Amino acid sequence: MGRRWKKQSHENDPIANFRAMDDAEDKHRNNNTTSSSSEAAGRTTKASTTKDDSFRDEPYSSDGEEDDEEEVYIVKQEYAYLSYGFSFVQTVIMGLLIWQCGIAPLRINPMLGPYPDALSEWGGKNAVLILDEDDNEWWRLLTPILLHAGLLHLFANVSVQLEAGAFFEKEWGSARWLIIYLGSAVASSVLSVIVMPQSVSVGSSGAVMGLFGAKLAELLLKWCHKADTKEARISAKVRKEQCCMVTCSVVTVMAFSFIPYVDWAAHLGGLLGGLVIGCVIFALELEFMSCKFLWFALGLATTIAMYAAAIWYMYNGDIEVVEELRDVCGYYQQQFEDYECRCMKEEYANNNGEDNGDRMLFLY
């Protein structure tokens, strides 16, 4: 911090005042005054050794003079371990998928990835397998975040995850980041099962949208934080920049969510999940205890109510699942004569099905 020397007053002590003046004259005659030249930032300090300690080193910040030091934004940790880790695992799984199941022709999978039946076999969101009492493959609510339709899909999601996602993890810490990431992944899959049960969906975009939703919650809750220190002013400046970035990212992703082969429900579910979880987590960082308690209680109640209602409706509501989704390979064999079933279970690979309905691979 920039500092300057502030002189003490001797108006009520003429002896001390005379002594200080006498000492100053002696030092001027003997050329014993020392000074340090200012650095590149323009800061100057002066050393004085008068007997009565006439000058005292005090910080200043209220007279309009700004410190020219480089601004440093303080985060919780130096490395984004989970962002890097998830991105690495997702990339490895894509490589294994392509190695085992091959790359489908572009007219089947324009994302430069494996045949669609492989994605269902490896854990893609498949509503009939999640909701069926015999199968009850609930883990498919989480595993889609590890899968991507192809190299282009993987590159798009991992790029955002390593940029914005990694920075958020450094800000929040890995534990908070993981809670938001996984919680948003579940919310995205649940809403996708409810709204779009006729599709197989893969991708980590829902979880990434949850990170954006949590950041929006943090920005809204901290909007009125006081900027009365240098660190607080830097934090406020960063939050303003993040607000523009996150808003633009959310609008862009949601705008592209309605093009063919993209699961808009998963994007929306992840965003809402991250928003309510973020309210719970970041309410604890508010300045006033009353606001902290109010927003924490409101966020917790909203989170529990939303997740409970969505999961209950998913299992008990009027969800029209497509039984033919058990045989994704059979559907694509009807659509493409040269379709190869390389990764489906044998009992499904030999079944071409009769009426597969309106089904396709969706990305998120």
Q: Could you list the active site residues?
A: 205, 267
Task: Report the C-alpha gap between 116 and 236 in whole angstroms.
Answer: 46
Q: Is 364 helix (H, G, I), strand (E, B) or coil?
A: coil
Q: Within its chain, how far is the Cα of 26 from the centroid?
A: 64
DSSP states of 45-83 as a string? Answer: EEE---TT--EEEEE--SSSPPP-SPP----S-S--HHH
User: Helices 230-256 and 264-283: crossing angle, nearest 10°?
Assistant: 160
Task: Report the C-alpha gap between 75 and 23 in whole angstroms.
Answer: 49
Alpha helices, H only, the chain: 14-29, 81-101, 116-121, 127-131, 151-160, 166-172, 174-195, 205-221, 230-256, 264-283, 289-316, 328-335, 346-349
State the residue for tokens 């999961």: 311
Between the alpha carbon of residue 234 and those of residues 72, 119, 221, 254, 281, the distances in Å are 8, 45, 17, 30, 22
